[in-house]
Amino acid sequence: MSTRLDLTQDVGALTARIVDIESVSGDEKVLADAVEEALRALPHLRVDRDGESIVARTGLGRSERVVIAGHIDTVPVADNLPSHVEDGLLYGCGTSDMKAGVAVALKLAAALDEPARDVTYVFYDCEEIEAERNGLRRLSLDHPDWLTGDFAVLMEPTDGEIEGGCQGTLRAEITVRGRRAHSARSWLGVNAVHRAMPVLEILNAYQARQPVVDGLEYHEGLNAVAIRGGVAGNVIPDECVVTVNYRFAPDLSLDAAQEHVREVFDGFELRFTDLAPAARPGLTDPVAGAFVAAVGGTPRAKLGWTDVSLFSGLGIPAVNYGPGDPNLAHQRGEYVSLEKIADCERRMIGWLRG
């Protein structure tokens, strides 16, 4: 079967074509080759490639440059390929997250040879797995000049609504120590699992902040996500580890978020195991304001972490905006509305044409 992409076809049909080219994280080469081939056929774009990530740029000398980015990988297929259409909905692996957004970006690249703003289109690999392999992260480290821009739109599924910035996230392990003993003579030991109760009480009593940042309300959360302890059915455990996850608003830096967790669990042995910074919405920027005016709707906070954080780290204000429903991402029955894809394409074209 040919993997050629026809960028002149309807955006819904193009989405289905992209969905049917399997591209589970780490195995995106076939789709990356097809994307590169389609983009290199467009004379108004300069195309570069790093691994399985493709970057295409206009060079019209406009006063503003915007970046439109989307990942081409999906989670593992779950008996949900090939794609099919039912009642105006396109079903298949990656339809919502986020091949519909990729299709929209490819249609924009083909249709707009003289946009009002210079545009950089980024199609990258390995977003759905560990951050060290993320293609956008790799580009930001190895080719930051490829990502230069005044504003960025990440085509993450948002159900056609603008979601500004993103929450930061960190995980920490809180270790409580005890002393081993035979469970028949438990009074000779100290039960570390029992001693972890104060940690859970702190979490139960915790009042999460709901700060307003750049006009958007975020809702933080600090929760236990795992607990482990015990070595055998007849041994009093000498260690219990509670793993907590803190989702924090973008008015906090990573350092400030870590310090907050240290204060909450003051006196406990604590070790951070995973850290990812938040990103401010940046909606006060004039380029972002023009995007909001063109797309319409009321922006809301992104309650989760996305790669807009990487753009924020490069000093580029960024938002999430795509046709898929985030609540359907990674599900076996994942789907996207064909109407939402077409509407997203229309709104993005209107913005880029000025």
Answer for the pair 19, 93: CB distance below 8 angstroms, yes or no.
yes
In the residue annotation, 127 being an active-site residue is answered as yes
| pLDDT tens-digit series, residues 194-221 | 999 999 999 999 999 999 998 899 999 9
Closest among 74, 41, 66, 72 to 54, alpha carbons compared: 72
CA atoms of 74 and 60, how far apart (whole Å): 33
| Structural domains for the chain | 11-165+279-353 (3.40.630.10), 168-276 (3.30.70.360)
Which listed residue (97, 127, 150, 307) is catalytic?
Answer: 127
Share of the chain above pLDDT 70, in %: 100
pTM here? 0.88
Pairing state of beta strands 89-91 and 118-124?
unpaired
Task: Give pLDDT, residue 1.
Answer: 57
Which listed residue (73, 163, 220, 334) is catalytic?
Answer: 73
Q: Which two tokens stand for residue 172?
A: 């920490």
Closest among 162, 134, 100, 160 to 313, alpha carbons compared: 134
Task: Give pLDDT, residue 151.
Answer: 94
Task: Give pLDDT, residue 3.
Answer: 86
**Intervals of the chain under pLDDT 70:** 1
In the residue annotation, 73 being an active-site residue is answered as yes
At a CB cut-off of 8 Å and minimum separation 6, what does 339 contact? 88
Task: Give pLDDT, residue 216.
Answer: 93
CA atoms of 210 and 217, how far apart (whole Å): 6
Name the H helices within the chain.
11-19, 29-40, 100-111, 135-142, 192-195, 197-205, 254-264, 286-295, 308-313, 338-353
